[in-house]
Each structure stands twice: as C-alpha cells, then as structure tokens.
Chain A
Amino acid sequence: MPGAPGLPRERTALAWQRTGVAGTVIAGTTLVAAAHLAGPAVVVAAAVASAGCAVAVGVAARQARRADSPWERLLAVAAVPVLLAVVGVLLAAVG
C-alpha cells in the first residue's frame, strides 16, 4: 500500500518489524534448543528451518518497499511458524 498516508502506514510497518524480530528470535532460540537436545539430523533440520525463516523475513522486508499487495509477504512470514513447528514436532518426537 505504498500510496497510503500517515500513521496507519507507520503502524503497519512497525507490525511487520515486530513480526520479523519475533520470528528471527524464536528461530534462533529453537536452533539453540535443537543443538542442545537433539542429534545431528534434527540439528541440521533446525538449521535449514532457521535459514528458511531468515529468507522468509528477508523476502517480507524486501517486498515491503515495492509491493502493492501484502499477499507474498504474508505467505513468507506465515511460513516461519510452520517451519519452526516442524522442528518442534521433530524435537518432541526424538525426545
């Protein structure tokens, strides 16, 4: 929504930032938990998922400057909890 004026646009940009920061922090924490709790296979899976989260947050940030629809950004950030949920289920399964 590049042409939208004022505070709503700023609030929306901040909401994207909060979501990106939360996703990045939780992805890092999940990777640390996997490294301490699980074997190499799950650690590799967690590393791949964390890298996927970083890419998703990057895609969302990049799209913010040029997109006229939030669709692709929403799909990208929604992929973050899904990726981390897969790691969480793996951690629970191998526990």
Chain B
Amino acid sequence: MPGPEDRGPEDRRPRSVYGVGGEPDPRFSMANERTALAWVRTALAVVAAGVGLTTAARLTAMPRLLDGFAAVLCVLGAGLAGAAVLGWRRRERALRLGRPLPAPMGLSWLAVLLVVVSGALAVTVAARRP
C-alpha cells in the first residue's frame, strides 16, 4: 500500500482545492486550518449550550419552551460545523489562486443569531416569572 510519501501533488484531496492555483506559504495554510478548527470548537460550544439548556429545562416550569431554544442552538451548532469546513475550502482556494481572502460572513451571522436566541430566551423567561 503506498504511503503519503509515494503520493504526488495530484493525489491531494479535495481536487476542487488542490487542483487549482499554486502552493501557498505553508504558514498561511496552517493559519487557515487553525481558523477552521476554531470554528469547529465554536460549534461544539453552541451544541454544548443546547444540551446544557435542555438539561436545565427539567428544573424549570417551562421545559417545552426551553427545549425549543435548545433544539435551535443544536441545529445552529451543526450548521456552524458545516460552515467551518466550507470556509476552510473557500479560504484555501483563495490562497492558492492568489485572490483576496473571502470575508468572514459566518461571524456576523453567528453574532446576530446568538443575540436573537439569547434575547428571546431572556425576554420569555422574564415574562413568565410569577
């Protein structure tokens, strides 16, 4: 079985990334890799918040409502994980093609969604307090 040292540059996957442009500075590629990992960790944190919220829902008088918010957070976290992979691919292509890096659109969406979810949660809990 051939090892990685036996593989040529044409064997690198995905071809949609490594089949275009030239080899960038390895430091930039590794920075891109770390950025994608930071997004994956953010996704993990959002999912953990969702699981924590559904656990805390059992301690309150409005479990269904909190479970709804928890489900939204979990779906948001899963979406962030997908965005991490797609973002790595877009940035690596830009690096290889010598183009400007794409704007971090996910950051503003994440901030807006978290503010909306946490704001709605705070308002709902405050309104239902006896």
A interface vs B, CB < 8 Å?
Answer: 1-4, 8-9, 11-12, 15-16, 18-19, 22-23, 26, 29-30, 33, 36-37, 66-72, 74-75, 77-82, 84-89, 91-93, 95
Contact = CB atoms under 8 A, between A and B. Distances in A.
11 contacts: A11-B34, A18-B37, A66-B4, A70-B88, A74-B85, A78-B40, A78-B43, A84-B44, A88-B51, A88-B73, A91-B67
A92 B37 contact: no
Interface residues of B, number: 49
B26 A69 contact: no
Q: Is the interface of A mostly helix, strand, loop or mixed?
A: helix
Given A1-B26, A77-B40, A84-B74, 14 more contacts: A4-B29, A9-B30, A12-B33, A12-B34, A15-B38, A22-B45, A26-B44, A29-B51, A37-B58, A69-B14, A72-B13, A74-B84, A82-B82, A92-B50
